[in-house]
Copies of this chain bind each other. A is one copy, B any other.
Amino acid sequence: MVKSPGKDADIFVGNLIDERHGGPVTIGYGRYAPGQSLIETMAVYDTMIVLEGRLSVSTGNGTVTARPGDIVYMPKGQTVTITTEDEGALTAYVTYPHWAEAHA
């Protein structure tokens, strides 16, 4: 697991599949500590599935709270604020294109 590059929040991500594997998507698990807030303009199309805990995602269209089994789709170009409160969250994510290349 590596700390999310360029971010100070207590959020860890680990890729299982990425540009080294020859396919078009990056896949991994993310862990968000409690009490985090991360604002990001999406550089990739990111699909996040909540596996444990709870997190909220806010956009100009409002806020959704996602619980285990919920899917959050964050298209490229969208500005999102991801927050956790008392609980952290464990997520799985799939990005297209590769996240590392988009952030290089």
Contact = CB atoms under 8 A, between A and B. Distances in A.
Interface stretch (A17-25, A31-39, A80-88): A17-25
A57 interface: no
Nearest to A45: B23
B94 A16 contact: no
A98 to B, nearest CB: 11
Identical copies in the complex: 2
Q: How large is the interface on A (under 10, 10 to 19, 20 to 34, 35 or more residues)?
A: 20 to 34
Interface of A: 16-17, 22-25, 27, 29, 45, 47, 49, 51-52, 68-69, 71, 73, 75-76, 90, 92, 94, 96
Given A27-B73, A49-B92, A96-B96, 11 more contacts: A17-B47, A22-B75, A23-B73, A23-B76, A24-B96, A25-B47, A25-B94, A27-B71, A51-B68, A51-B69, A94-B94
